[in-house]
C-alpha cells in the first residue's frame, strides 16, 4: 500500500491512500500501530496508564468497516486492555 514519493519528498515510499481506501471499502481492517507515538491525545492516555500501572503501555487502533469482522477469535501472548469505541 505504498507508492513512490512525490517531487521533493524525503521518504522513498509513502502511503497510497487510493489503495488503502479501496481495501477498506472491500472489508479490510486498518491497523494503526503505535498510535501513541503520533497522536497526542492517545499519547497522554498511554502516559497516564503507564504511570498508574507502573508498566510500559502502548496503543494500537483497529478500524474495521461496518458489517465486517476485524479478527477471528485469537489470543495474545501479552496482556491486552481493549477499549471499543463503537460497533
Question: In 3D, which of 68, 71, 50 has the Cα closest to residue 59?
Answer: 50
Per-residue pLDDT tens over the stretch 4-48? 666 777 776 778 889 999 999 999 999 999 999 999 999 999 999
Residue 15, in any domain of the structure? no
Residue 2 confidence (pLDDT) above 80? no
Residue 43, in any domain of the structure? yes
Coil, helix or strand at residue 46: helix
Identify the pLDDT of residue 80: 92
Domain that holds residue 46: 30-69+79-87
Coil, helix or strand at residue 30: strand
> Span 65-85, mean pLDDT?
91
0.75 exceeded by the pTM?
Answer: yes
Question: In 3D, which of 82, 81, 35 has the Cα closest to residue 55?
Answer: 81
Looking at the DSSP assignment, which residues form a beta bridge with residue 15?
2
Identify the pLDDT of residue 16: 85
Residue 61 confidence (pLDDT) above 80? yes
Question: Residue holding cell 492517545?
Answer: 42
What cell was used for 77?
501472548
**Domains in the chain: how many in total?**
1
Identify the pLDDT of residue 13: 72
CA 65-66-67 angle, 5° bins: 115
Residue 49: which pLDDT band, with cuts at 50, 70 and 90? very high
Amino acid at each position: 500500500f505504498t507508492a513512490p514519493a512525490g517531487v521533493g519528498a524525503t521518504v522513498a515510499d509513502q502511503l497510497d491512500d487510493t489503495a488503502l481506501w479501496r481495501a477498506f471499502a472491500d472489508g479490510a481492517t486498518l491497523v494503526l500501530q503505535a498510535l501513541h507515538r503520533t497522536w497526542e491525545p492517545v499519547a497522554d492516555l498511554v502516559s497516564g496508564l503507564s504511570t498508574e500501572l507502573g508498566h510500559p503501555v502502548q496503543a494500537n487502533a483497529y478500524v474495521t468497516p461496518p458489517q465486517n469482522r476485524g479478527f477471528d477469535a485469537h489470543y495474545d501472548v501479552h496482556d491486552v486492555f481493549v477499549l471499543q469505541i463503537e460497533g
